Amino acid sequence: MKEYEYNICTVADEEIFEKQCVTLEKHIPGIEKSDLLIDVDGSKTQIYTLHNKKITVHNSYYIGAVYVNSEIELTQYFE
């Protein structure tokens, strides 16, 4: 299965992470919010599903980035 990755920011940023989650919830009809995972270093992963496909938003202090991984192509929702 193909996975899509969208790099949002080249540093970990709580505000950008939150804004990205709100943007997905606002622009993707039918998206369902699931678990919020918090790592020991403060990194966060918000999990969503859409039509049984997983979308995850990451605020990673380990990698140093905010990014989205998705089992579906998301640019169609942001044209």
Residue 56 burial (CB count, 10 A):
17
Q: Give me the pLDDT at residue 2, please.
A: 83
Residue count of the chain = 79
**pLDDT tier at 34 (50, 70, 90 boundaries)?**
very high
* pLDDT tens per residue across span 38-57: 999 999 999 999 999 999 99
pTM for the whole structure: 0.94
Q: 3-state class of 35 per DSSP?
A: strand
Q: Give me the pLDDT at residue 27, please.
A: 95
